[in-house]
């Protein structure tokens, strides 16, 4: 704790927070949500992020646990961290994207002294310990201590329209705030589905993003997917509607930011 406090005091003059929160509260406690928001803000504005990365790396598991108390705080934090490191790592080494399978499984993100992969964050933290290849129907049997401690408490299908994996067909990057999370996820979901979905009223056929196929259990299967499309105004009725999954454009596409 003393080492981290010294580190924060050293870096604090170099870190400006523009979302109404400071990185340190009550002299010691780090506001990890504010830090994650500033991480993305710095990227968006072309500013350096190394000091913020250092604070994240040198924090302790206990500090993260106490700083991320609610489900919304955890969800917003991990969405921002995932999206931020996609931008940082691929902007510096775009060639890593040529082998995407290896890229997403590579442990390259230091959070509280533990190296995470993008797959660890997506499937472990944000999807609440889902097995990567289980289509959303099978959970991991033995998640580790960090994952059990820091993962979200409730799976929310809308995170799939918030995580940006660096590809052209990925959802754009927004800066998620814990106290506005539900509103932001609702807006982001509607925006993404409206942009990517097509409905042929003659064929009664909805062409939708492949995300609905890859994580079908998260969405409640085909029935759940149709309900989501109806809720977001893509279709007026779920009766007799067939689903067609579009091909996914994996072309590298960074700096795709939006405001929600």
pLDDT, tens digit, for every residue of 140-199?
999 999 999 999 999 999 999 999 999 999 999 999 999 999 999 999 999 999 999 999
Residue 139 DSSP class? B
For the question of whether the overall pTM of this predicted structure is more than 0.85, the answer is: yes
List the domain boundaries for the chain: 2-178, 184-245
At 54-111, the pLDDT tens digits run 999 999 999 999 999 999 999 999 999 999 999 999 999 999 999 999 999 999 999 9
- For residue 229, give the nearest of 250, 203, 211, 214 by alpha carbon: 211
User: What is the rounded distance in angstroms from the CA atom of residue 83 to the CA atom of residue 175?
Assistant: 9
**Which residues in 220-252 are b (16+ Cβ under 10 Å) and which e?**
eeeebbbebbeebebbeeeeebeeebbebeeee
DSSP letter assigned to residue 158: G
pLDDT above 70: residue 15:
no
DSSP annotation of 201 reads T
Q: Of 6-20, 31-45, 46-60, which gets the smallest average pLDDT?
A: 6-20
Whether pLDDT at 11 is above 90:
no
């Amino acid at each position: 704790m003393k080492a981290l406090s010294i580190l924060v005091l050293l870096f604090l003059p170099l870190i400006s927070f523009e979302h109404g929160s400071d990185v340190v509260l009550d002299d010691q406690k780090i506001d990890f949500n504010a830090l994650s928001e500033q991480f993305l803000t710095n990227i968006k504005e072309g500013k350096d992020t190394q000091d913020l990365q250092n604070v994240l790396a040198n924090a302790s598991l206990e500090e993260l646990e106490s700083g991320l108390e609610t489900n919304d705080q955890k969800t917003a934090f991990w969405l921002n961290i995932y999206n931020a490191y996609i931008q940082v790592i691929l902007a510096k080494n775009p060639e890593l994207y040529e082998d995407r399978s290896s890229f997403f499984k590579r442990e390259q993100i230091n959070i509280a002294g533990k190296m995470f992969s993008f797959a660890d964050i997506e499937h472990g933290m944000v999807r609440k310990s889902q097995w990567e290849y289980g289509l959303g129907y099978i959970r991991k049997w033995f998640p580790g201590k960090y994952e059990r401690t820091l993962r979200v408490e409730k799976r929310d299908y809308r995170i799939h329209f918030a995580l940006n994996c660096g590809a052209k067909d990925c959802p754009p990057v927004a800066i998620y705030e814990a106290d506005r999370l539900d509103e932001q996820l609702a807006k982001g979901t509607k925006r993404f589905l409206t942009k990517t979905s097509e409905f042929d009223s003659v064929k009664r056929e909805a062409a939708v993003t492949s995300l609905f196929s890859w994580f079908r259990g998260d969405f409640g299967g085909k029935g759940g997917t149709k309900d989501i499309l109806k809720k977001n105004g893509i279709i007026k009725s779920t009766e007799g509607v067939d689903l067609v999954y579009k091909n996914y454009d994996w072309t590298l596409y960074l700096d795709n930011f939006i405001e929600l």
